[in-house]
Structure formats: structure tokens, C-alpha cells
Structure 1
Amino acid sequence: MIETIESFHIDFHQLIENSLNSIFILGEEGKIYYCNKASLKLLKLTSFEEILHNSLYNFIPTYIHVVCKERLNNVLHKQQAIDYIEAQMIRKDGEIIDVEVKTTPLKMGEEYYAQVVIQDITNRKLAMRLLHEKERLASLGQMAASIVHEVKNPLTTVKGFLQLLKRDHPHEYLNTVDSELDKALSILHSLLFVSKPDLLEEPLLEIDVSKKIESTVLLFQDKQDYVNLILDIKDAGRKIEGKRNSLLKAFFNLIKNAIEAISEKGTITIEHYYQNGWIHVKVTDTGIGVAEEQLRMLGTPFFSTKEKGTGLGLTQVYATIYDHGGDICVQSELGKGTTFHVKLPTK
């Protein structure tokens, strides 16, 4: 019987040590007395010396410290178990990840500790956000398509009669009206495309994203007098499966948007690198920036922070990235600049 218990104890230790979930044992002030191998992987650490006897709060964003300390005290002093809750953690490289945490009291000798089980749910949260954004864009697309058809038909009729009027009674004002009608019809066509990008019957191809970025940057050589374009290409040659023209247009719109955000002279840095199955593309400008309350509206048709902008360029970017199973987020600060961060899944 003793041998069975000892054998069970050894197997139980191996079970904890090799668990896919991260397991910590904490004391006062979040001091870490034990963690398993999965904990190192979660935080991108290489050795237990980097974490043991440190505080878990070192790996938690400061804005949730108060809540975390309150919950830990309830576990240690009231022996209150806390079921799964969502939180965030900071990896060694500074990346913030979404996690799910369960905490239970653990008595060892006369002392109580907190056993914390943590699961990385970053990919799950990303999938949910992508689904939400695709549903939002789909709803906007249906509404936009209806508006386009309702407005385009009478405008087309007006343009037809205008041609007849120009032929019989030529006048410079009629040429101006005709030109403005062409602009309106062009905007409607663009709106229809960005609201329903799948309408573009383009084949899926293997695409080297780094090469497409380099070729797109060449289109802006005439802007080099006042904009310093910096290319930082790492992990070149990584490929995705996608629609070449749609992606080229998306990268073109991102860089064009960055250039237009710079009023006088400035710098645009374009980064490309691979990480954990994703190709990352960051476009950072030193332009005027975007107010925090406007950030969540970016990508919405006809919302623009520019005086004469339609917002359709960024709508095309968001629609194309989501159509490729990717993700896009933006960080900005007024007067300092903006960064668009695109992630695309590799093959």
C-alpha cells in the first residue's frame, strides 16, 4: 500500500509538471514558490530562476494589480476559491496575452497558499474578435450595398440625360456637373467593393508578403522629398495563401494613409517579421495621430479623420485583412503618430 501511494505521488507530480496548463503556488504578495514547465512557456522564460521567489505581479499589468491582490488575499486569508476569470499577463518580451485564471486555497502544513491554474486564451479571444468584426463588416456591407443600388440607379439616369444635354446645349458648367457625377459614381463603386470584398473573383495564390511590401513602397518614391520611408524586413520569404491584388491594394492604402497623416516632414517605418505562425506587418508614421475616441471607428465606411477623406481606403484594408483570416489593430497618440499592426496567418 505504501509503495502504491508513493508511486501515485510520483505520477501526480509528473502530471502537474507536464500539465498543458500553467500552475503556480503563491504566497503573500504573490510570491512564487512553485511553477511547472508550462508556466515558463506561457511567459516565454527559459529557466525557473527567472521566476521562482519573484512576485507574480511582475508579470501582470499594473492596472489590474488592485483586483488581483484583493482576490489573492481572499484565497490566502478566507480560503475562498475563485472560479475561472479572464485577465491579462505580460510575457518576458513585453507581449500582453489574454488568460483565464482559477485560484484555489492549498494547505501545506499549517500555512495556506494559493494554487493558481492559468490557461492562455489569446487565440480564442482573437478568433472571437475576428468573428465579431467580420459580422460587423458584413452588416455594414449589406447596408452599404443597398444604399449603393438605391443611389446608383438615379445617378446613372441623370448622367445619361446629362450626356444628351451636353450634346444639344454644350456648356462648361455641364462639364463640371458631369465630372462631379463621375466622382460620385466612382465612390459608390468603391463602397460596393469594400463592403463586399468577396465579390472580387480573384484566385488564391502563394504570396510572399515581404516582396509585395517592397514593390508597394516603390510606388511612393516621389514622396521621399518630405517622407523618410524605412523598410525593416525580417523573415523574408514567408508565404501566405491569399488574393494578390486585394492585398497589394490594402498595403498601398495603409502606406498612403500614413503619408497623408504627415503634414510636413516625417518618417514612416514598415516592419515585416514572422512569429508563431503569423506574418506581422507594422506601418508606423510620425504624423498627427488619431484621438482615442475615434480609434474604434477606423475602418467604418465614410468615417475619416481627414478633411476630404471618404474612409473607404481603410475600410478596404480592414475588409481584406479579415477576408484573409487575419487581424488588424491600431495604436495612436495625438501629435506623435500612429501604428497599424497587421497579422496574417501563414500556410
Structure 2
Amino acid sequence: MVQTIDSIHIDHQQLTDNSLNTILIVDKDQTILYCNKSFLELFEASEEDVLNKSVCCFIPSYQHKMCEELLVEMFTKQVTIEPKDMKMKKNSGEIIEVEMMCTPYFIEGNISAQIIMRSMTSRKVTEKLLCDSEKLASIGQLAAGIAHEIKNPLTSVKGFIQLLKESYPHHYLDMMESELNNALNTLHNLLQVSRPDLPDEPLVPIDVSMELSSLLPLFQEKLYSIKIEMDIKDSGIFIVGKKNLLLKAFFNLIKNAIEAIEGNGKIKIKHFFQDGWIHIKLSDTGKGIPPENVEMLGTPFLSTKTNGTGLGLTQVYRAIKEHEGIILVDSILGKGTTFHIQIPVKYSPHL
């Protein structure tokens, strides 16, 4: 037997109570007759805080008039009012942004207003994340362009030095060529780091110890007050991964460690192989991370820096997760932070 909608008893109370949308029912006097669980959770309130109260209690005073006009229009015309963006006020006084729609709701022949709301917080965060990601991509493209333009004349200068050495050998020319090679290597690494992420970046064998060492010249101007100590063991053991993605992750980790140190300090980078995993430990003597923030690291826009966005660590966590790795964090306020990264080895000429 095929059941029709008319033959099925639907518990409307249960539907609205468990709806993901936030629902209120108010009468012509703007008194709240009903609220669902989603409303109580979003507004951090109890039923006693809400029922039989004016809906204006949850709306900032500067939006009272707008709300009243919407309700009057709905009650007068008995039509659904299209969704509008509004500010609402939690029980704690915190202001939030919601998308609100108002529609007629009949109770025993009397018309009421059903107000359906949806929090816009996650949407706003996503929009900002996309906007900031576009800005970061633009900055990366600009850096790559500048590095490319500088690299070309330096390569020419290197060629002329090599020609001069053939006719006029001199140790000064050897020193110049050596410094030019350092500059060109730095530009090469900058081009690697600033290159935008490619969803189809090929998997290649990577010696993480070499890549860590190659990044340090990018921070040369910071290393007068900050000492970097390298403890590299088990070099020559490869992982398989996306080289550009991992380079960016380690670049962001070192950058964060440097920025966490005020004045003089030390950064220690350890690399070793154990039980089928490459381990990278990066420790700094910076200001540390509050305990309540440690578990939230990697969340976009979570940052202890004044102008930070947290997007650098978001990229780190995404890159390591994509390589089936693990990140452990140990931090003590006022003493420093250690990031312990573990990446499984899937390729090695030594294993």
C-alpha cells in the first residue's frame, strides 16, 4: 500500500524542535510564543529567558524599527517576507548577524508570525577566508614576478664573471661567483615558496632535511638576533609528496617561530628517522601559545599576533594532513613552543 502525505501523521512540533534553522513564533504584539532548540543554542538562552518576552529583547535598539516594519507588513498583507540580513542580540549581549525570513503561521485560526533565522557567522568567515586567500595568492604572484626579474640579470652577471675568470683568474672573482650562487639559490627557493598551490601537483621523492636547509637563506636578515641550530640526522631518507606544498608549510613554520621571538632568541630544528616516520621538531624561545589556543591551532583567523590571520598555520596543518602526517604541539607561555611533525616514509633508497 502506498501512503500519501494526507495519510501520514506528521509531528510538526518535533520537526521544528529539531530543525537546524532557528525558529520563533511571535504574535501581533511581538511576544514570543515559541522557540525551538536551535534558537536556544544560538542565543545561549533558556526557555524562561525567551518565552512571553518581546522579540525586541533579542534585537539591538537601532534595528527595532526595521523589525517592526517587517512584522507589520507580514501581518497586514499576510505574505512571506523575503530573507533579509539583520543584527540580533544574544542573551549575553553579543551581537550576531543572521539572515531572517518572516512568514504567516496560523494557530487555531489566529495569525502569528513565524520567524526563521540562519546565522551568517560561518558564511562571513568563509567569505573572509576566500578574500584573504586571494590576497595571499596575489602577493605570492608578485613576489614570484620580482624574483624572476632579479634572477635574469644576476644570471647574466654570473656568466660574465665566469668569462673574466678564464682570462683574469682572481680570488675576488671566486668570492663574487660564490655570493652570486647564494643569491640565485635564495631566489630559486623564493620562487618555490611563492608559487601558488596546485591541486594536481605531482608526487615526487623529497629529502626533507635538504629542503629545510634550503629555506634558511630566505630568513637571512632575521638571523643576526636569532640563532638557528640545525640537528640533522638520517639525511638521504625520502618521503613521497608534493614538494611545493611542503616547502610552503616549513617556510610558514620557520616564519612563525621567528616572529614569536622578541629580540634575541634561538630556534632549533631537528630531523631524524624513526619507526618508518620522518620526524621534524622545530622549537623556538618565543612567547609561547596560551593553552586554550593550542588545541585550536590550524583554525583560520586564530592568531596570537596583532595583525595575524592564522592562515599560515592553516596551510601547515592542511599540507601535513595531505601527506598523512601528524602535528604535535608543546608550548609554555614565556618560554617557547615546539612543533613536532611526523610524516610517514613511503619511499627511500636506503630502506
TM-score computed with the length of structure 1 as normaliser: 0.50
Alpha-carbon distance in 2 for matches of 1:268, 1:157: 45
Answer yes or no: is 1:69 the counterpart of 2:64: yes
Post-superposition Cα deviations, 1:191-226, rounded to whole Å, max 9, x if no partner, equal: 4413324469579xxxxxxxxxxxxxxxxxx98xxx
Alpha-carbon distance in structure 2 between the residues aligned to 1:202 and 1:283:
32
Give a deviation string over 1:149-201, Cα, whole Å, max 9, x none.
34323212213433554783647699579647734751463244133244695
1:242-281 to 2 correspondence within 5 Å?
246-260=248-262, 267-270=287-290, 271-273=293-295
- Residue 35 of structure 1 deviates from its aligned partner by 0.6
Aligned to 2:21: 21
Change (3 A) 1:100 1:143: same
Q: Is the 8 A contact 1:148 1:192 kept in 2?
A: no
- Note closer, same or farther for the CA distance 1:272–1:55 as it changes in structure 2 (3 Å cut): farther
Cα distance between partner residues in 2 of 1:125 and 1:158: 50
Answer whether contact 2:32 2:55 (CA < 8 A) is retained: yes
Secondary structure, counterpart of 1:269 in structure 2: coil
Q: What does residue 232 of structure 1 align with?
A: none
1:155, 1:272 → 2: CA distance?
A: 44
Give the Cα–Cα distance (whole angstroms) in 1 for the partners of residues 120 and 42 of structure 2: 11
Counterpart mapping for 1:92-241 below 5 A? 98-104=97-103, 114-162=113-161, 165=164, 168=168, 170=170, 175=175, 179=179, 182-183=182-183, 186-187=186-187, 189-198=189-198, 201=203
Q: Distance in 1 between matches of 2:85 and 2:190?
A: 40
Q: Which secondary structure state, in structure 1, belongs to the residue aligned with residue 295 of structure 2?
A: strand
Cα deviation, residue 84, structure 1: 1.1
CA distance in 1, matches of 2:196, 2:158: 25
Q: Check 1:94–1:148 CA distance in 2 against 1; reply closer, same or farther (3 A cut).
A: farther
- Which range moved further: 99-108 or 115-124? 99-108
Given candidates 283, 298, 304, the residue that maps to 1:284 is 304
Q: Aligned equivalents of 1:325 and 1:31: distance in 2?
A: 50
- Structure 1: gaps spanning 5 or more residues: 1-6, 204-221, 224-242, 299-313, 327-347
1:342 alignment partner in structure 2: none
Aligned residues of 2:43 and 2:89 also touching (Cα < 8 A): yes
**Counterparts in 2 of 1:281 and 1:325: CA distance versus 1, 3 Å:** farther
SS at match of 2:23: strand
Q: Which structure 2 residues correspond to residues 332-343 of structure 1 after superposition, within 5 A?
A: none
Looking at structure 2, the residues matched to 143 and 244 of structure 1 have their Cα atoms a distance apart, in angstroms, of: 21
SS of the counterpart of 2:304? strand
- Label 1:318 to 1:154 Cα distance change in 2 as closer, same or farther (>3 A): farther
Which amino acid in 1 is paired with 2:194?
V
Q: 1:252-305: CA deviations, max 9, x gaps? A: 32242233599xxx9443421259xx86895425xxx55xxxx8xx8xxxxxxx
Supply the distance in 2 between the matched residues of 1:130 and 1:112 (Cα, whole angstroms).
42
User: RMSD between aligned alpha carbons?
Assistant: 5.4
Identical counterparts, % of pairs: 30
CA distance in 1, matches of 2:154, 2:10: 79
- CA shift at 1:72, angstroms? 1.1
Alpha-carbon contact 2:193-2:248 (below 8 Å) kept: no
Query: Structure 1, residues 297-326: CA drift from partner, whole Å, max 9, x if none?
Result: x8xxxxxxxxxxxxxxx9966765676899
Q: Is the CA contact (8 Å cut-off) linking 1:97 and 1:122 kept in structure 2?
A: yes
What SS does the corresponding residue of 2:13 show, helix, strand or coil?
A: helix
Q: Tell me, what secondary structure is at the counterpart of 1:49? A: helix
Amino acid at match of 2:157: V
Equivalents in 2 of 1:166, 1:54: separation in Å? 89
**What number of residue pairs does the alignment pair up?**
253
Distance 1:94 1:249 in 2: 41
C-alpha contact 2:144 2:190 (8 A) present in aligned 1:
no
* Partner deviation per Cα, 1:234-253 (whole Å, 9 max, x = no partner): xxxxxxxxx77654542332
Uncovered stretches (5+) of structure 2, i.e. residues with no partner: 1-6, 206-224, 227-244, 265-285, 323-351
C-alpha deviation, 1:85, in angstroms: 2.2
- Deviation of 1:74 after TM superposition, in Å, equals 0.3
**Equivalent-residue separation in structure 2 for 1:150 and 1:41 (angstroms):** 55
Distance 2:44 2:84 in 1: 22
> Which of structures 1 and 2 has the bigger CA Rg?
2
Preserved contact between residue 32 and residue 52 of structure 1 (Cα < 8 Å): yes
> How many Å apart are 1:36 and its aligned residue?
0.9
Distance (whole Å) between structure 2 residues aligned to residue 69 and residue 267 of structure 1: 46
**Displacement of 1:78 after TM fit?**
4.4
Distance in 1 (CA, whole Å) between partners of 2:202 and 2:159 is 27
